[in-house]
Copies of this chain bind each other. A is one copy, B any other.
């Protein structure tokens, strides 16, 4: 674990902090689809992402979903951060989008290290910064863009985080992420195919020139 840690967080954290993390942290490998955080659950650990992609979702009262953003290597979940303080419940759901490697930190350490290590403070603040900006980005998309543009950005983003120009999703899955209906997505995807931006297949979509 210490090696994974150094490779991914060595430039961020002081040696003493890296040492502490390796002592109290737990290394885990989780599979695609693993539910890392559920709405309404209490947070006991803070995940540091070593590899893989995590999808962060919001849900409304009817159980309808909306994709908020993706977490990648070097990211951590801001919701975890804020939940550590107030003993509050999670407001979001986090699911491994791909197989992922993570280090779990007990939440008591979060506050302790914030007083002790400047690099930790910077990391935590920076994480908040990133998450807040991603939320702003999400707001921009849903408030200012129409569904066809949102879909296009979604496909780009998904292709980027998976580092693959083939998107393995059904129209229904995309519809859930964008909080619309399958028919709407099928209709818009067909338009994108007609103008040569993508090629549609059963269960996957090939990005051509977005």
- Secondary structure dominating the interface of A: helix
CA of A136 to CA of B111 in the docked complex: distance in angstroms?
24
Q: Kindly supply a per-residue 1/0 record for chain A positions 142-180, scoring 1 wherever the CB is within 8 Å of any chain B CB and 0 otherwise.
A: 111000000000000000000000000000000000010
With both chains docked as a complex, state the minimum distance between the C-beta of A41 and any C-beta of chain B, in angstroms. 16
User: Which of A58, A64, A132, A142: most chain B CB closer than 10 A?
Assistant: A132
Q: In A60-109, which residues have CB < 8 Å from any B CB?
A: 60, 64, 66, 68, 78-79, 81-82, 85-86, 88, 91-92
Q: Which residue from B111, B125, B135, B144 sits with its C-beta under 8 Å from A132? A: B135
Q: Which of A2-10, A19-27, A45-53, A115-123 contacts B (4 or more CB under 8 A)?
A: A115-123
A31 within 8 Å of B by Cβ?
Answer: no
Contact-size category for A: 35 or more
Closest to A66 in B: B143
Which of A58, A129, A138 has the largest count of B CB atoms less than 10 A from its CB? A129
In the bound complex, CA of A125 to CA of B85 (Å): 8
Whether A181 is near chain B, meaning CB under 8 Å from some CB there, is no
Q: A128 in the interface, Cβ–Cβ < 8 Å?
A: yes
A83 nearest CB neighbor, chain B only: B129
State A136–B81 Cα separation when bound (angstroms).
15
Interface residues, chain A, CB within 8 Å of chain B?
Answer: 58, 60, 64, 66, 68, 78-79, 81-82, 85-86, 88, 91-92, 111, 114-115, 118, 121-122, 125-126, 128-129, 131-133, 135-136, 138-140, 142-144, 179
